Structure 1
Amino acid sequence: MSQFTWFSGRGPALLEAQLDRRIGLAEPAALDHRPLGEQRLVVLDLETSGLDMKRDRLLSIGAVAIDRGAIDFSQQFECTLHRLDHKVGPSVLIHGIAPSAIANGVEPAEALLDFMEFVGDSPLLAFHAGFDQRMLARALKQSLGYSLRHRFFDIAELAPLLCPQAKLPRGGLDDWTRYFGLQVQQRHHASADALATAELALILFSKARRQQLDSLLALQQRLASWQRRQRAHSL
């Protein structure tokens, strides 16, 4: 049996063990009416070589699980990806990932398989989730030939929906952590930002329950309605 399994066209080449792991990845769970306190959710943050979603690359993943209504510190993920031809750019001043850390990082296919096995079938949460979703999906497609189908929820959208009194319609993570008095030990570090986002998510879930929004499906439906009203008001 060959050491490598080659995909047709321009797809990636994977070791057979990697292909087996890819095939074994869990299908994303469908949204339902389970209470938020019974859900497992994965909160992630990515550090990248820049903000160009077509050209820049994923450098680091940090994630933590919210399981049954609490942050589960036994379920954390942190990984820096190996990038052989990585060139230091202005973003290093933000994320602080040293070239030596990237040179000694985990091979991308292995890192991404590890992460998706950590995710399992859980929905994903992030702050400004659209960026993380697109960067992760692109990395998975390039390194694994895998199509990301997991549902993402954007804390940057849920926060103004659930807390309009804060008057932070376009607030960043720093704005919302200050508003709720959260202590953030470090910023622009994937694991630290994921933890700060998870703490914010728990506050927002508490507020959602008070508004009779006690499931991801209910939150999604309310958010879609709120976004339609916001678009109508902007016309």
Structure 2
Amino acid sequence: MSLFSWLRPASPVLPDELRQRLAQLPAIGELSECSLREQRWVVLDLETTGLNLNKDRVLSIGAVVIEDGAIDFGQQFERTLQCRELKLGPSVLIHGLGPNAIAAGSEPAEALVDLLEFMGNSPVLAFHAPFDQHMLGRAMKEHLGHKLQQVFLDVADIAPLVCPQAHIREAGLDEWINWFRLDVFERHNASADALATAELALILFSRARQQQIHSPLNLQHRVNQWKRRQQTHSF
């Protein structure tokens, strides 16, 4: 036994059924060179207890699929996670998830395996994706002992890349919704925000194709180049 093994949290003990389902998940590869339209995308949003990357927790998950160039309303995912010893902060005023809704939620390990099966090996889109990726990765590690491997792309980076004329690089989701004049009737719950992000992503994919960005892999490369230029110009 390692001298420092006691410092590492113990891996969760999972029922055989969940372990079998984890073992059957598809392998996650690199982004494809297929067309943006041909790619199946999972658009994800989380509601959390707050914005602290190390202490706050995932409360709910909403996701929708873009496939064949359109939102597939037959492929939607929504779960509220049970969260023991929860201390609700000011965020409850935004997402509206109170103690009763959380107590009636899904057992986290079961819900997270459901999500992994829903995502499959598809790349994930989210607005401010690094936050969602980090928080979801922590939850996967805590409840499943599983490393999140899906490729995430940030819609908050794609938008100013393909629409520089908007001059709203640091904008939030609401600002982009308003700039494109999208009709969004509900906000600030995970499912509604995932749907709004998916609607925005479809517009951005159309703009990307006009700029000769035709594949998920090409889109990732262009986003990375754009981010490096932004970092260089900030110094």
Do Structure 1 and Structure 2 share a fold, with TM-score over 0.5? yes
Give me the whole-angstrom Cα distance separating, in 2, the residues matched to 1:25 and 1:104: 27
Question: Aligned partner of 1:45: which letter?
Answer: D
Structure 1 residues 28-62: Cα deviation after superposition (integer angstroms, max 9, x where no partner)? 23212100110100000000011111001100000
Instruction: Using structure 1 for the length normalisation, give the TM-score.
Output: 0.95
Give 2:119's aligned residue: 119
Question: Aligned partners of 2:96, 2:179: CA distance in 1, in Å?
Answer: 26
Residue 98 (str. 1) matches residue 107 (str. 2):
no
Letter in 1 for 2:173: L
Over the matched positions of the two proteins, sequence identity in percent amounts to 57
Q: CA deviation at 1:96?
A: 0.4
SS of the aligned residue for 1:14 comes to: coil
State yes or no: 1:227 paired with 2:227: yes
Write out aligned runs for 1:45-194 (5 A).
Answer: 45-194=45-194
Residue 218 of structure 1 corresponds to 218
Q: Counterpart of 1:76 in 2: which secondary structure?
A: strand
Alignment: residue pair count: 228
- Cα distance per residue 1:91-120 (max 9 Å; x no partner): 100110121010011000000000110001
Over aligned residues, Cα RMSD in angstroms?
Answer: 1.1
Secondary structure in 2 aligned to 1:156? helix
**Aligned AA (1:152):** F
- Describe the SS at the equivalent of 2:66: strand
Give the equivalent residue in structure 2 for 1:37: 37
What is the one-letter code of the residue matched to 2:126? A
Counterpart CA distance in 1 for 2:114 and 2:32 is 26
Aligned mates of 1:9, 1:162 — CA distance in 2: 43
**CA distance in 1 between partners of 2:136 and 2:84 (Å):** 19
Task: Name the CA distance, whole Å, in 1 between partners of 2:74 and 2:155.
Answer: 23
Letter in 2 for 1:196: A
Kindly indicate whether the alpha-carbon contact (under 8 Å) linking 1:29 and 1:122 is maintained by their aligned counterparts in 2.
no
C-alpha displacement of 1:9: 6.1
Tell me by how many angstroms 1:27 deviates.
1.7
Partners of 2:208 and 2:158 lie apart in 1 by 9
Paired position in structure 2 for 1:202: 202
